[in-house]
Amino acid sequence: MINRTFEPGFRIELHQKDLGLDLGNSRQVGVPLPNTATVQELFDACSARGGNVWDHSALVRALELLASHEIGAKA
């Protein structure tokens, strides 16, 4: 993340698929997964910026946008 290397290892779009299945199943059995839902939203934010094929470590980009701060950036 600090080196800004986001080449695909495991793509965000694959995580989105898996987390979507998890959230769908959890709804069916009535088990809330709030942290999983939050991560899915952050992945969605990356996808909205063209990040479907980024590595999952690029999730930091969504967090950086929320914080208005880039990790590793000089102050």
pLDDT at 74 over 70: no
| Tokens standing for residue 49 | 């910026």
pLDDT digits (tens, 9 = 90+) for 19-52: 999 999 999 999 999 999 999 999 999 999 998 8
Asked whether the beta carbons of 51 and 7 are under 8 A apart, the reply is no
Amino acid at 71: I
CA dist., res. 72 & res. 69, Å (int): 9
